């Protein structure tokens, strides 16, 4: 006799994305802890140019972006090596974000140089089984950035955050490389509200395909 239902396999590689301040790393660590996965996180503090970029973007944008490009390349290579031994993981970035940030931060001349470097790089990144895209308006992002107290991030302007938010929206509008879960991170609290978090976990455990949403209905009260 066949079982009444078949167990749905969990996504083994989950990538969490979204603009600065939306809560990617916090959620990646929490999901990794829930499923006993290995967190695979960006290391922005290792970028020696980032501090100057926050204070003077025009002066340090190219150096900052190229450092991130090479750093993320190395992380992807490490991920591919580790995948031979660790087959479950949660990342707080996609490699595609590098070009996305470059298009927002670099001048046309700098972007031309960046593209020449990018063209000579072979990035064979593994495809996630699920991508979680956290969305929030710039006012929420700025509030959270202020709250977490990174002194260098306080120099980020609303104009920069808006351009970055728009770039993410355009990128994921037609994203089809992996199943996509779009989460309204403004109206739910995945860090502190257990009901909100359980809703996310239930959705992940269903191993969704295509494009899906977690977007609380507005109250009628």
| Cα 125 to Cα 79: distance, rounded to the nearest angstrom | 9
Both structure tokens of 133 = 């895209």
| Cα 170 to Cα 83: distance, rounded to the nearest angstrom | 30
Rounded to whole angstroms, what are the CA distances from 123 to 36, 42, 69, 182? 28, 17, 10, 25
| Cα 72 to Cα 203: distance, rounded to the nearest angstrom | 28
Buried b (16+ CB within 10 A) or exposed e, 27-46: bbebbbeebebbebbbebee
Cα-to-chain-centroid distance, residue 69: 15
Instruction: Please pick, among 92, 124, 129, 187, the residue that the annotation labels catalytic.
Output: 92
Q: Is 92 a catalytic residue?
A: yes
**Could you give the count of Cα atoms lying within 13 Å of 37 in the half-sphere of its Cβ?**
24
Catalytic residue numbers?
92
């Amino acid at each position: 006799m066949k079982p009444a239902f078949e167990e749905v396999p969990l996504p083994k590689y989950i990538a969490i994305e979204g603009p600065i301040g939306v809560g990617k790393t916090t959620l990646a660590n929490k999901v990794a802890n829930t499923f006993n996965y290995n967190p695979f996180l960006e290391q922005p503090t290792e970028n020696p140019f980032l501090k100057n970029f926050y204070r003077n973007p025009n002066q340090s944008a190219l150096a900052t972006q190229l450092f991130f490009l090479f750093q993320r390349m190395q992380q992807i290579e490490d991920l591919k090596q580790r995948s031979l031994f660790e087959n479950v993981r949660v990342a707080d970035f996609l490699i595609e974000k590098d070009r996305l940030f470059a298009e927002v931060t670099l001048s046309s001349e700098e972007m031309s140089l960046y593209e020449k470097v990018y063209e000579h790089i072979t990035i064979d990144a593994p495809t996630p089984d699920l991508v979680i895209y956290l969305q929030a308006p710039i006012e929420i992002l700025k509030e959270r950035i202020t709250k977490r107290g990174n002194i260098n991030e306080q120099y980020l302007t609303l104009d920069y955050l808006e351009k970055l938010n728009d770039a993410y929206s355009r990128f994921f509008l037609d994203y089809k490389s992996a199943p996509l879960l779009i989460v309204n991170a403004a109206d739910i609290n995945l860090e502190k509200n257990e009901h909100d978090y359980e809703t996310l976990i239930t959705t992940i455990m269903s191993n969704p395909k295509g494009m899906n949403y977690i977007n609380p209905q507005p109250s009628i009260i």
